[in-house]
């Protein structure tokens, strides 16, 4: 039983064992008396001679295993066979192989799980060392067949070199597995692939014209389903193009938001008591409580040390958990309160410039970089990073003046294409300011939210009504969006009728990008396809 588990073939017997420098060498010999000729397949018994094959096998207890197999050469007595002699071929060895098939299988899995370079390093750690070139040859020699034809097929493109070359990924939506990779993102390769697989009934895709043409030509029986996420992206892009021409309205909305922010953060000065009056006299308002000062870093560490000490942790474990020195932990464990620390003697590099910094920074006269340049003129020799850290103790310059709020076209499009329940209180204020200062945006807000609700809830019955409203809309970008949906009407209608989407395809594209980056750009399309299709 144990021999059959350790040896690659139960017909072998062990003649000798010895170790040398983490290598276990095992001399084996076959117990069979006959062998089949590789050409005529007839069994032969006449032994011609003996030879020895040295092959690597799976490691044992951190020892690399070398098998020294005594191989017999037989006479072929078949007169019709062209081969006169032949060597017996163990079933676990390929001709001229230097590794067993089970070792090759593990190395191939290791190479596809990582890459050739990393797999070579790990193989040495796992006591089955091979070079990165060998790993690469094993990967290229692996035959990977495309998956079976799915019923629901997801199609999307990916970049092998962004802006230059692309490919097409095909995913089984129901099994969420990659079926195949095709070079390029043109219609012809996908059309040929679909024509040989008539079982495809649904095709989910984005609204690229090439994939729509390929699906119509290669699988006319399949229902094309547009991706709902890309429909929402199309709406956001249309709104962004609209707001690109509304820069003046967005600037006014930003100014209004700045004034609101300044009014809400402005602190009213307390009433001055009259001379000689009792501050606690009747009718006087109690003083407002001052804000509690935030704990310092030392106070936070001290509190954590005391909490862990109360739970029974030792000084060593506390130091390890908090990543601080044991000396500091021991000092904190002795005291019940944080020990007082004397201020730095001699000041810092900023000591001569404190008044200058307060005057320019607190009044909002300049930003950090401008203040850094002014300090250099005053004789400051420190770095810009130290100045930024020093300025954390001061309030920002926006507290002294109105900080301008910039509302970009992209942000405005984002706010306008979201349902009210998806927006926070601050985002709703920004949206209100945009609608108040941009009458055209106020006119299309309901149209945008209706489209989002229709796509989310898959209300296919409302599509025709929405397209008519968008076609009559005064905003050109929404009219253009309506025309684009009309050209792909059947796929968009199916997207609002079926639950299928391109979400699993996007996840597989993300996995593909990770695999592509593991090879550092040195792998071609064929190897990338093998790695994506290989199942570990």
- Give the mean pLDDT per block of 10 residues along the chain (536 residues): 65 84 88 86 87 90 90 89 87 88 93 91 93 92 86 93 90 93 93 92 91 93 94 94 90 85 56 47 45 70 91 91 89 84 67 83 74 87 85 59 72 93 91 92 93 94 94 92 94 94 93 86 83 89
Tell whether 483 and 508 lie within a shared domain.
no
Tell whether 469 and 421 lie within a shared domain.
yes
CB 111 within 8 A of CB 118: no
Tell whether 426 and 489 lie within a shared domain.
yes
Boundary residue ending a domain (70, 98, 126): 98
What token pair was written down for 487?
């050209």
- How far is C-alpha 488 from the chain's CA centre? 31
Please state, in angstroms and rounded to a whole number, the distance separating the CA atoms of residues 45 and 41.
Answer: 13
Assigned domain for 111 exists: no
Number of domains in the chain: 4
Please state, in angstroms and rounded to a whole number, the distance separating the CA atoms of residues 409 and 405.
Answer: 13
Assigned domain for 386 exists: no
Residue-range definition of the domain harbouring residue 411? 232-246+407-495
Assigned domain for 103 exists: no
Tell whether 91 and 9 lie within a shared domain.
yes
H or E stretch covering 155: strand 152-161
Cβ-based neighbours of 155, under 8 Å, separated by 6 or more: 168, 169, 170, 171, 190, 203, 204, 205, 211, 214, 215, 502, 505
Tell whether 170 and 77 lie within a shared domain.
no
CB 93 within 8 A of CB 53: yes
Tell me, what's the pLDDT at 354? 84
Tell whether 93 and 11 lie within a shared domain.
yes
Tell me, what's the pLDDT at 137? 92
Q: Which sign does the torsion angle of CA 91, 97, 100, 102 carry? A: negative
Give the number of other Cβ atoms within 10 Å of residue 184's Cβ. Answer: 16
Assigned domain for 106 exists: no
Tell whether 513 and 443 lie within a shared domain.
no
CATH number at residue 165: 3.30.420.10
Using alpha carbons only, how large is the chain's radius of gyration in Å?
37
Tell whether 92 and 156 lie within a shared domain.
no
Please state, in angstroms and rounded to a whole number, the distance separating the CA atoms of residues 69 and 71.
Answer: 6
Tell whether 485 and 440 lie within a shared domain.
yes
Boundary residue ending a domain (98, 115, 134): 98
Assigned domain for 33 exists: yes
Assigned domain for 349 exists: no
Tell whether 464 and 506 lie within a shared domain.
no
Assigned domain for 13 exists: yes
Tell whether 469 and 449 lie within a shared domain.
yes
Tell whether 94 and 179 lie within a shared domain.
no
Assigned domain for 357 exists: no
Whole-prediction pTM value? 0.67
């Amino acid at each position: 039983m144990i021999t059959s588990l350790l040896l690659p073939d139960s017909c072998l017997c062990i003649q000798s064992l010895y170790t040398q420098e983490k290598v276990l060498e095992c001399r084996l010999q076959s117990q069979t008396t006959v062998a089949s000729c590789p050409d005529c397949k007839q069994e032969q018994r006449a032994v011609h001679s003996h030879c020895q094959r040295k092959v690597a096998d799976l490691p044992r207890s951190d020892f690399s295993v070398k098998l020294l197999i005594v191989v017999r050469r037989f006479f072929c007595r078949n007169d019709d066979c062209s081969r006169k002699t032949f060597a017996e071929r163990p079933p676990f060895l390929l001709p001229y192989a230097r590794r067993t098939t089970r070792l090759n299988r593990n190395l191939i899995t290791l190479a596809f799980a990582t890459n050739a370079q990393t797999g070579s390093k790990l193989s040495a750690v796992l006591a089955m060392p091979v070079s990165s070139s060998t790993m690469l040859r094993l990967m290229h020699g692996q035959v990977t067949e495309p998956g079976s034809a799915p019923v629901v097929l997801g199609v999307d493109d990916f970049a092998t070199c962004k802006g230059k070359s692309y490919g097409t990924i095909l995913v089984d939506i129901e099994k969420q597995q990659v079926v195949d990779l095709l070079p390029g993102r043109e219609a012809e390769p996908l059309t040929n692939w679909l024509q040989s697989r008539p079982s495809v009934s649904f095709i989910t895709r984005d609204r690229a014209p090439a994939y729509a043409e390929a699906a119509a030509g290669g699988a006319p029986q399949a229902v094309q389903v547009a991706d709902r996420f890309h429909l929402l992206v199309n709406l956001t892009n249309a709104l962004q193009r609209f707001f690109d021409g509304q820069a003046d309205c967005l600037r006014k909305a930003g100014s209004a938001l700045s004034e609101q922010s300044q009014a809400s953060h402005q602190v009213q000065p307390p009433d001055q008591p009259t001379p000689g009056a009792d501050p606690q006299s009747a009718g006087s308002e109690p003083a407002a409580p001052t804000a509690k000062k935030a704990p310092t870093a030392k106070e936070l560490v001290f509190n954590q040390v005391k909490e862990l000490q109360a739970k029974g942790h030792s000084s060593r474990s506390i130091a390890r958990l908090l990543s601080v020195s044991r000396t500091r932990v021991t000092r904190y464990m002795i005291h019940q309160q944080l020990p007082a620390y004397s201020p730095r003697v001699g000041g810092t590099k900023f000591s001569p410039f404190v008044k200058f910094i307060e005057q320019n920074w607190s009044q909002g006269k300049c930003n950090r970089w401008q203040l850094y340049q002014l300090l250099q003129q005053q004789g400051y020799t420190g770095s810009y990073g130290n100045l930024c850290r020093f300025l954390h103790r001061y309030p920002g310059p926006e507290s002294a003046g109105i900080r301008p709020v910039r509302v970009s076209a992209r942000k405005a499009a984002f706010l306008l294409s979201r349902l009210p329940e998806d927006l926070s209180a601050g985002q709703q204020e920004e949206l209100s300011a945009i609608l108040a200062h941009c009458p055209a945006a106020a006119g299309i807000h309901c149209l945008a939210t209706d489209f989002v609700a229709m796509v989310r809830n898959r209300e296919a019955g409302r599509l025709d009504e929405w397209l008519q409203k968008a076609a009559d809309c005064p905003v050109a970008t929404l009219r253009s969006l309506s025309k684009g949906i009309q050209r792909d009407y059947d796929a968009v209608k199916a997207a609002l009728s079926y639950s299928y989407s391109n979400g699993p395809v996007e996840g597989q594209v993300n996995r593909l990008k990770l695999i592509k980056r593991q090879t550092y750009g040195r792998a071609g399309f064929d190897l990338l396809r093998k790695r994506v299709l290989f199942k570990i």
